[in-house]
Structure 1
């Protein structure tokens, strides 16, 4: 019976993801995905190798090309070839580098080739670049055939190194006198990112070393071994296994972006300037030159370009870099033994299938409910631990199978488990009760169609919004912002619901609520006012807790909100589709409440209400008259008030200040600007702090004094924004 019970879950959680993995592998997507995912993991995991200290670069950079663009001996790019012997000889002024490797092609004739020929003969230990390609017209050249014979490395034909149709060797005497030759071809993966390199390149069944190999063997004698599909290369000191893939390429360890940017690079312009200083006796001590020659002592010197005009850029896992940086990484990998071995994809698939089978047992056999929730964390931890352990051993586990299959498998299994146990309806019910008033849920379950049709009756619309929330969100991390919102919204929603309010929706930090629907309640204006004051008090408690804990930022700890209240007729009901509907409200009453919440900012008050609220609640709550306004989209003026406190909590100071404000407002209506300003200024004196509303009216009086209103002016202020 249990076996039958497990049959469909096994199909759902193991066979379906397994089929998906098979399709990804067949269509060739998995390999690219594996490498992209491993790049991401490498960025996140600690680096365990450092770039070789034996490699330095002479860089023909933007500064070099720009500085010598008008120089008679160099000119614009490409430079005349007599400069390269100068750069090479500079590295040998005092000491001798191990080898000089040129990452620039000299495959076309030039008037200055004899300078390179002389350098080849006299300076020695120089390796020139060759480039291979496919396509185009094959032109047989005698010198190329001679060079291929001279520099060919005898290797077994079954080693799967990349093969090319055409070759471009150094031209003429430059090639004939070249002490060494290396191939500079780089082969990006299908997604255009350079991650791998070939130790050797094949042309006409002959093999030629790449730059990395030449750096490893330093131009000397070396041996290779190919046995049981494993390849080794040995110089005078080290025998290095090269973990070739099926296409003859090996995965490179690309260190960190910071290390790549800090590879020792010396500008060609700096070397030329140093040589000029030395020749003119401007600087006598070579160690005080801009580029001391001693830095090249016993180093592998690469000569390459990074200037944009040279068009020698490659896309690495760390982004766009000059091609010579990519070559330097490959050379460092081979020299230091930092090569990565990519395990066959079957290992990743096998690990994933084991995890999926265990997942079936955890969900459908295990009775410990907590383990069902913890298993994804355990599985992911196991995968990350295995991946990192192998990575530390320079082995790369194919990760796409786990990353793709495990979430799909566990989600399918959990969905099926929920469905079979009948939890979906209870889960929906629970979520709905947390979002809206329980009365809505009850009525929805009893007569959903009636609620969908809705109705129109008198309600109080409630809108609240946190002041300056965008500034708060910029200061906090995503997790802290979510935690802050959860604390704030939970506390405020609890108060809303405890006063028979219905949560309409959250809009970011904003709360939209309904009082008086779906269960009609004639006390809805009073309950809305009570809710607003309780929320104000609760926010003070939250702020005190945040300050005591020194939680969040100072701006967040000083959070303030604005509330707009208005009562009147509105359309209410469930609106949406059969599968997705929410209880909400619409109409002019709702729109005005939203406008009042926005206007509260201008008047510097926390709770702004309409005259309709004030008229029915003034016996229990104290309201301060503020202004007559005309909101956007409406011609009829609205009298607005600030909800201050309960009548029982009213102080003499508040009464005196409000009396003075109303006196000033009367002067304002009578166009007696000076007396109005004088009265408004006294309001702040009575309060003992600057009253924002009075300041607003003072500024308005000053403006009207300079630009008097027309004869039909009624004192109503028209808001132009929502």
Structure 2
């Protein structure tokens, strides 16, 4: 017995969560889950790195395109290539930048390539963009082998840097004269989010630096070596250790969204305008210009685009950003050493199993009950603290095993603890819960007097009734009738209670229910709608079982019901004696729900609801407008709807039919009976079945056509029966 006392908790709290973790890892869902969870933690935790002060961006933004919309060379994308030497030259008017890195491809021939060639030969530290890809057909280009040998980096390593089949280098003399070349490829994770980058990529046996590596190197010579799974970059005065992952990528530190939006970006339009004013003599002091050349002194300058027409956007952990922003983040990471190392999954799993084992001891061995309640807070705090501690050291701990495993472990353990410690109380509770809703039981046990006093607040009244039950009962023996009712009422009541509904009473085959009392909650209309739809599905399941077993009669096996729902204020209370009591509701809200259930027959629908229900639930559930009616005993007209389905399940055919019905109803209200009839007839054609509601309105139009209503007729139909 003592062995079982500890073995079962270990099974529930350790083995089951660990097995779930193993399954997720086996099917390779863990990587994406880990990345998304770590993104969430990064957003919540304080930032500890800041974007490099040495990196600025020359941005061909919306202003640059719009400002020169009528300019023959700047008014459309792509710009003529002789514009770029102008921008680069402007940055070198005073103290030049450390390096200029272009994040724009020049892989196709242009009439202005000579301008770029001249810039390459005269303006110094410029790095041009190359793009690699897989698949497709690439025609041989003259000089590509020479370019490859010139700009590749000699690396001897077994690190699995990304490998590509085809390469696109700067065209012709642009590539041949380029001082440097970098690769601009970025690789999104499986969920489409860009989190990682590679310092090098492979093509045709050569290794080429990416933009981030070029920003670190600054045009200087550097060496590489491999230490375990880390790449080490060495230049004259600096060494950078890069923690490469198993797929050749390194996790980037993405700073904060605010920092990304505040990266120094200078509009190309502002630079061109500044240069024009400087050349014309309008402004003599460069520091008075809109974009002073001093902004680029000793900086790493990236030239990129953010204008929508350039189509260079990527999805980052902070959302959609221009591609040059992501490249700037990677460059800042490598130049400043802000690189994250993703620890193996086994570290996170090991920590989780340790926490789960401690949980077993606290819940089942420890006798201090306060500690049992404090245990979840302790475990979560310990996990968050460890994650943040490692994060500050630029390590990323695998989180999915704890985030999934701990809640499951604690819930299973606490459930088992409750089960073993509360047998006697459950026996007593079980008797009461067979009589009334579990929610009512909980409140009744705490304060019976408050239930007896009752109150008045907003609830949703629920009425359901089996169609033609009298005919069904006449065909069945007393035994079969009782069995049928027991099956039906048990199934429907289970659905009602599972959605927080309170069973008011049974009236033969009818079910009366309350949502929102005795425990008040805002979502009672939606739960009532959910219950009604689930009851339809449950009845379909019952009919299938009855037909398979061939029990009862064909009429009974084809049973259907109608439901009426209305939301509003009603008097509710727990009425009766202490030994025999019923929680019930009274008022106009309740009466209208009962009338709606009866009216559902006229319109051939299963669930008829009031406008108050439709208004409260239309964001989640789909309703079809049917009519304006005046129920018996009430003068105020009611707008009625049929509850059809969840919003996500609505088809285009359904929407088309409903729109046709609404057009017909508008014509009906304007007394255009013949046109209204045409639209109502179209509804059945669209649905490819007879629509009872449309047929009802057609008959009404025909009657009104023969016997026109009075001048003050408003289209409201008065029902004369309950």
TM-score (norm 1): 0.64
2:195 paired residue number: 195
1:475 paired residue number: none
Q: How many Å separate the matches in 1 of 2:569 and 2:346?
A: 60
Are the structure 2 counterparts of residues 279 and 375 from structure 1 closer, same or farther at C-alpha, using a change threshold of 3 Å?
A: same
2:705 paired residue number: none
Are the structure 2 counterparts of residues 424 and 161 from structure 1 closer, same or farther at C-alpha, using a change threshold of 3 Å?
A: farther
Q: How many Å separate the matches in 1 of 2:453 and 2:229?
A: 79
2:477 paired residue number: none
The residue correspondences of 1:693-712 to structure 2 (distance < 5 A) are none
Shift of 1:504: 3.8
Are the structure 2 counterparts of residues 587 and 332 from structure 1 closer, same or farther at C-alpha, using a change threshold of 3 Å?
A: same
- Deviations along 1:246-276, one digit per CA (max 9) or x if unpaired, are 0110000000000000000000000011111
The alignment partner of 1:142 has SS state of coil
The residue correspondences of 1:304-319 to structure 2 (distance < 5 A) are 304-319=304-319
Shift of 1:368: 1.3
1:715 paired residue number: none
Q: How many Å separate the matches in 2 of 1:246 and 1:370?
A: 45
1:229 paired residue number: 229
Shift of 1:582: 8.6
Matched pairs, number: 497
Q: How many Å separate the matches in 2 of 1:33 and 1:24?
A: 9
Shift of 1:400: 0.5
Shift of 1:23: 0.9
Q: How many Å separate the matches in 2 of 1:227 and 1:592?
A: 78
State whether structure 2 residue 518 is matched by structure 1 residue 505: yes
- Contact 1:460–1:565 (CA under 8 A) maintained in structure 2: no
Are the structure 2 counterparts of residues 439 and 20 from structure 1 closer, same or farther at C-alpha, using a change threshold of 3 Å?
A: closer
State whether structure 2 residue 144 is matched by structure 1 residue 151: no
Q: How many Å separate the matches in 2 of 1:266 and 1:68?
A: 16
- Contact 1:201–1:207 (CA under 8 A) maintained in structure 2: yes
The residue correspondences of 1:561-710 to structure 2 (distance < 5 A) are 583-585=583-585, 590-591=590-591, 633=631, 635=633
Are the structure 2 counterparts of residues 8 and 511 from structure 1 closer, same or farther at C-alpha, using a change threshold of 3 Å?
A: closer
The residue correspondences of 1:132-147 to structure 2 (distance < 5 A) are 132-147=132-147
1:208 paired residue number: 208
The alignment partner of 2:21 has SS state of helix
The residue correspondences of 1:87-106 to structure 2 (distance < 5 A) are 87-106=87-106
- Contact 1:461–1:589 (CA under 8 A) maintained in structure 2: no
- Contact 2:229–2:245 (CA under 8 A) maintained in structure 1: no
- Contact 2:167–2:203 (CA under 8 A) maintained in structure 1: yes
- Contact 2:129–2:182 (CA under 8 A) maintained in structure 1: yes
Shift of 1:369: 1.5
Are the structure 2 counterparts of residues 349 and 278 from structure 1 closer, same or farther at C-alpha, using a change threshold of 3 Å?
A: same
Q: How many Å separate the matches in 2 of 1:635 and 1:5?
A: 64
2:443 paired residue number: 435
2:402 paired residue number: 402
> Which runs of no fewer than 5 residues in structure 2 stay unpaired?
433-437, 460-514, 526-567, 595-628, 637-709, 711-717
2:457 paired residue number: 464
- Contact 1:572–1:584 (CA under 8 A) maintained in structure 2: no
Q: How many Å separate the matches in 2 of 1:308 and 1:49?
A: 30
The residue correspondences of 1:240-639 to structure 2 (distance < 5 A) are 240-421=240-421, 422=423, 424=426, 432-436=440-444, 462-464=455-457, 504-508=517-521, 583-585=583-585, 590-591=590-591, 633=631, 635=633
- Contact 1:462–1:593 (CA under 8 A) maintained in structure 2: no
2:124 paired residue number: 124
Are the structure 2 counterparts of residues 439 and 343 from structure 1 closer, same or farther at C-alpha, using a change threshold of 3 Å?
A: closer
Q: How many Å separate the matches in 1 of 2:427 and 2:440?
A: 11
- Deviations along 1:472-524, one digit per CA (max 9) or x if unpaired, are xxxxxxxxxxxxxxxxxxxxxxxxxxxxxx99434437999xxxxxxxxxxxx
1:71 paired residue number: 71
1:5 paired residue number: 5
The alignment partner of 1:77 has SS state of coil
Are the structure 2 counterparts of residues 424 and 35 from structure 1 closer, same or farther at C-alpha, using a change threshold of 3 Å?
A: farther
- Deviations along 1:400-425, one digit per CA (max 9) or x if unpaired, are 00000000111111111212222555
Shift of 1:50: 0.6
Q: How many Å separate the matches in 1 of 2:264 and 2:428?
A: 64
1:85 paired residue number: 85
2:109 paired residue number: 109
Shift of 1:86: 0.2
Are the structure 2 counterparts of residues 2 and 175 from structure 1 closer, same or farther at C-alpha, using a change threshold of 3 Å?
A: same
Shift of 1:461: 8.0
Q: How many Å separate the matches in 2 of 1:426 and 1:566?
A: 26
RMSD: 3.5
Q: How many Å separate the matches in 1 of 2:174 and 2:384?
A: 52
1:50 paired residue number: 50
- Deviations along 1:262-317, one digit per CA (max 9) or x if unpaired, are 00000000001111111111111111111001100000000000011111001010
State whether structure 2 residue 143 is matched by structure 1 residue 177: no
Moved more, 225-234 or 91-100: 225-234
Shift of 1:95: 1.6
Are the structure 2 counterparts of residues 154 and 586 from structure 1 closer, same or farther at C-alpha, using a change threshold of 3 Å?
A: same
Shift of 1:229: 2.5
- Contact 2:131–2:168 (CA under 8 A) maintained in structure 1: yes
- Contact 2:132–2:183 (CA under 8 A) maintained in structure 1: yes
Are the structure 2 counterparts of residues 359 and 265 from structure 1 closer, same or farther at C-alpha, using a change threshold of 3 Å?
A: same
Are the structure 2 counterparts of residues 227 and 508 from structure 1 closer, same or farther at C-alpha, using a change threshold of 3 Å?
A: closer
The alignment partner of 1:505 has SS state of coil
Are the structure 2 counterparts of residues 292 and 503 from structure 1 closer, same or farther at C-alpha, using a change threshold of 3 Å?
A: closer
Q: How many Å separate the matches in 2 of 1:437 and 1:50?
A: 58
Q: How many Å separate the matches in 2 of 1:636 and 1:59?
A: 69
Q: How many Å separate the matches in 1 of 2:107 and 2:314?
A: 21
Q: How many Å separate the matches in 2 of 1:33 and 1:143?
A: 45
Shift of 1:157: 4.4
The alignment partner of 2:118 has SS state of helix
Query: For the pair shown, which has the larger CA radius of gyration, 1 or 2?
Result: 1
Q: How many Å separate the matches in 2 of 1:10 and 1:437?
A: 34
2:668 paired residue number: none
